[in-house]
Structure 1
Amino acid sequence: MAVSNQRQDDMREQERLETLREYRLLDTSPEQAFDRVTALVADLFDVPIALVVLVDDRRQWFKSVHGLDVPETPRDISFCQHVVVEERPVVVSNALEDPRFRDNPLVRDDPHIRFYAGVPLRAPNDAVIGTLCIIDRKAREAPDARGMQRLEDFAAIVMAEAELRRTAFQRDETRHMLERALDFSSVAIWQLDPDKRGLKWRGATAELWGGDYERLTTADAAMERIHPDDRDKVRAALDDAIGNGVPYSSDFRVLHPDRGVRWLAGRADWDVRSNEAVLTGINIDITEQKSRQENANLLMRELHHRMRNLFATVGAIISLTRHNSRDVEDYVDRISSRLDALNRAQNVLLGANFLTGSIHALLREVEAAFPRIRWEGPDLLLPENALVSMALLFNELATNAVKHGALSTEHGRVDVQWSQDDENVEQRQFRLRWTETGGEGEVIPPERTSFGTLLMERSVRNNLGGTIERRWEPTGLVCEISLPARWQEA
């Protein structure tokens, strides 16, 4: 039980010390508000000494001293520590007759205390941070109830002053913290006097308006920093807010002296003070949002264009395949194969930026569908139309290899190799070679030109501006393609 009580006492003392430090009174300069109280108390009780005492962990420090010339004394010999520990008023009529104090250095030596009366300085959380006390060098009777009540009333005045001081400090600290937060928040705060058209700035104004923002002391001066194409819009929104007493809202560009053209959003409403009204608002940088919006609009236009191209391609494939199919089953098979080729191209585009696709990514898709195809060459970025054309080309070659060529046998394979001429070569060419080996039987050209052949030739010649040549050698089909080298390496 004793251990538990000691722990509670220690926790109570820790809370008390934390409360004391919240007031930030220790070791501060004398203040008239507290000195006036000790002077009045000394006069009222006719004593030579009156003190406002703050009891720290190892000392008692005097915030206000009347009648002494020392700033503090050790806590272990202080009278006031008894008030703090007992959390109630303590009165000593004659210290020489009190066993607690008769051997105390403050009694035996200067200031030769005989009489002491102290009342708690109690914080709102009930913690006692110190005392208001009166001291005499001669013994005297304890104050009556009315006298003690007066002393406690003065203690309440001391605490009221301490609370005002703490509140002011917390307000200043909070204000400073908010100002620092605004500096880091990329938000500029402004106030506009509608009569004088004067501007005041706070927050991250330098970041949004420029390091010389202090020159922008009027609405007209700030207007000069706004992009000429946006000034009329901003001025109209501001005039509407001032003329009709409505909130202000506008998005506009500023000519930042260090960061170039930046987009800002401005929002404001009226703040009424006494008989005056000021327009208080904020600016935030929305350049990135505007950029994302423009990119999204561009992407939607590109997607719309691509979808139209895709539907046109699908429609052409369906129509031409229908005329070149032997029966319904053959038609479905050919359509499914060519739609798979389109799907491979779309997968590559979706995995990138919708606008370009990697030829390596495309060949990985082809290899997944036709596992015995091996490929080698630099990775290049193909625009959407070129990627679709190459996907259809590879699909027709691979499908024919499965039906009639190397991939129709267990041990056949296809090697795909490509390269681009050096950049210093005039009329640079992209060259691709499709080589089939390991097939069985005699390799001969087809008897008629199929739609697949036409599709390959149109993809290479019409869409890509190149040439295609096919040779049926004894080892298998060899297809060579040559195109203008327009594609960048990934």
Structure 2
Amino acid sequence: MADGGDEGAIEAERLRLATLREYRIMDTPPEPAFDRVTRMVAELFDMPIALISLVDDRRQWFKSAYGVEARETPREYSFCPHVIAEDGPVMVTDAFGDPRSRDNPLVTGELHIRFYAGVPLRAHNGAVLGSLCVLDRDERAALTDVDLARLADFAGIIMAEADLRRIGAERDEARRSLERALDFSGIATWQYDPRTDRLSTQGAGAELWGSGFETILATGNGFFDLVHPEDRAALRILLEETVANRTPYAAEYRVSNPERGVRWNAVRGDWVVHADDAMLTGVSIDITEQKSRQENANLLMRELHHRMRNLFATVSAIISLTRHAARDVDDYVERISSRLDALNRAQNVLLGANFMTGSMHALMREVEAAFPRVRWSGPDLLLPENALVAMALTFNELATNAVKHGALTSEKGRVEVRWTQDPEGSEPRMFRLTWTETGASDVTAPERTSFGTMLMERSVRNNLGGTIARHWKPGGLVVDIAMPARWREA
């Protein structure tokens, strides 16, 4: 039980000290509101000394001291801890004869204290932070219950004043925290009085409007000097309508920020009414990044729409031309499926990047996945969408022919794809690719030009601006492709 009691006392003292810190009153300068109370108490009770005493873990500190010069004493010299321990009024009529105080330096020393009466200074949560006390250098009769009640009333006045200070400090800290949060978030709050044209702002004003904004934004007319000229007239009309009709205010507009250039701001406001006064109050936030993402998304959608039109046109042409070259329905389905697979490989590469360019290495990995005996090497290049589709169709026709008629008909057959790009500054700077089939037997040139051959030539010559040459060697087909080097390395 003793241990439990000790733990309870320790926890209570921890709470009391935390509450004392919450008031932010220790070591503050003297204040008339508190000094007025100690003077009145001393006069009312005809005492030479009256103290507002607050006790922390090591000392007794006087917020107001009437009749003594000292501002603090060690805690062990204090009468006040007895008030804290008793959690109620404490009175000592003969300090020199009272065992609680007879060895106290305030009693035995120069102050020669003989009488003490103190009541608790009780915080908002019930913790006793110290005492309001009166002291005399002579022994006196005990105060009556009425006297102690009056002293307690003055203690209540003191704590009411302390609570006002505490609430004010908490409010100021909350306001500072809000202002810091607004600064970090890029948001500014504002209030506009349409009768006087006065405008006040808080928060991230410098980030939104640039340095020196306080002077410019002192008035509504000054604000329009920061608005982009192309948005100024429409925004002014909107504000005039909002003021005339007392309607909410919402707009997106550009500002000319002297440090950050043209920026997009979003503003939202509504009316706050106090008696007959109506103030337009709201927030402004920088939305430049959101606008940029929106524009990029719109650009991406336009590019995607353009690509889809190109893709449908390519598919339509393949379907139409394959129909004339197919021997029967099965052959037609097979050829269409193969070429659509090639288009799909190109789209996979584009979707894996940024929709507009694709990696040569990524395309070759797709080709290798479909035709495992195709090996390749060369620098990774970024191909635009039309070039990537053209290369995908070309590789597909070459690989399909190799499977049906060339090197890949044999288990030992292989395909090696190599490409190079001339160094920067070469004139003319060329891209060169060689498709080499090995391990084939009895390879001969076809008697007629197939649709696949025409598709390859069209892809290389018309879409890529290059040349394609085919050579039938004893071991298999060799294809040389050359074109101006227009692609940058990935």
- Measured in 2, the distance between the counterparts of 1:180 and 1:320 equals 68
Q: Percent identity?
A: 65
Q: How does 1:249-398 map to 2 (within 5 A)?
A: 249-398=250-399
Partner of 1:126: 126
1:42-88 CA distance string (max 9 Å, x none): 12112222111111212111111122222222211321111111211
Q: How far apart are 1:246 and its partner, in Å? A: 0.9
Q: Distance in 1 between matches of 2:305 and 2:431?
A: 30
Letter in 2 for 1:225: L
Q: Which residue of 2 aligns with 1:161?
A: 161
Structure 1 residue aligned with 2:444: 444
Counterparts of 1:218 and 1:105, CA distance in 2: 64
What is the DSSP-based 3-state SS (H/G/I as helix, E as strand, rest coil) of the residue aligned with 1:101? coil
Please list, as runs of the form range in 1=range in 2, the aligned pairs for 1:101-180 lying within 5 A after superposition: 101-180=101-180
Which residue matches 1:223? 224
What secondary structure does 1:332 align onto? helix
2:236 corresponds in structure 1 to 235
Question: Deviations for 1:400-434, whole angstroms, at most 9, x for unmatched residues?
Answer: 11111111111111111112233323343221111
Task: Give the Å deviation of 1:284.
Answer: 1.0
Q: Distance between the aligned counterparts of 1:460 and 1:316, measured in 2?
A: 16
**Structure 1 residue 29: deviation in Å?**
1.7
Aligned residue for 2:189?
189
Partner of 2:44: 44
Q: How does 1:414-425 map onto structure 2 within 5 Å?
A: 414-425=415-426
| Residue matched to 1:463 | 463
Shift of 1:154: 0.9
Equivalent AA in structure 2 for residue 367 of structure 1: E
Q: Secondary structure at the match of 1:100?
A: coil
2:69 & 2:424 partners in 1: Cα distance? 92
- Superposed CA deviations along residues 189-211 of structure 1, whole A, max 9, x for unmatched, are 22222123232222111111111
Structure 1: how far apart are the matches of 2:118 and 2:413? 107
Per the alignment, in what secondary structure is the counterpart of residue 97 of structure 1? coil
Offset at residue 155 of structure 1 (A): 0.8
Residue identity matched to 1:59: R
Q: Distance in 1 between matches of 2:30 and 2:312?
A: 87
Task: Give the C-alpha shift of residue 296 in structure 1.
Answer: 0.9
Could you tell me how far apart the structure 2 residues matched to 1:281 and 1:91 are? 58
Task: Give 1:297 deviation, angstroms.
Answer: 1.0
Shift of 1:225: 2.2
- After TM superposition, the structure 1 = structure 2 runs for residues 74-113 of structure 1, keeping only pairs within 5 Å, are 74-113=74-113
Deviations for 1:335-371, whole angstroms, at most 9, x for unmatched residues?
Answer: 2211111110000000110011111110111011111
Aligned mates of 2:162, 2:33 — CA distance in 1:
10
Q: What are the ranges of 5 or more consecutive residues in structure 1 without an aligned counterpart?
A: none
Instruction: Please tell me the residue identity of whatever aligns with 1:422.
Output: P
Aligned-residue offset at 1:306: 1.1
Structure 2 gap segments, 5+ residues each: none
Tell me the SS of whatever aligns to 1:65: strand
1:146-204, CA deviations, whole angstroms, 9 ceiling, x for partnerless residues?
A: 11111111111111111111111112222222222222221122222212323222211
The one-letter amino acid paired with 2:307 is: R
Using the alignment, how far apart are the partners of 2:211 and 2:69 within structure 1?
53
RMSD of aligned Cα (Å) = 1.5
Secondary structure at 1:98's aligned position in 2? coil
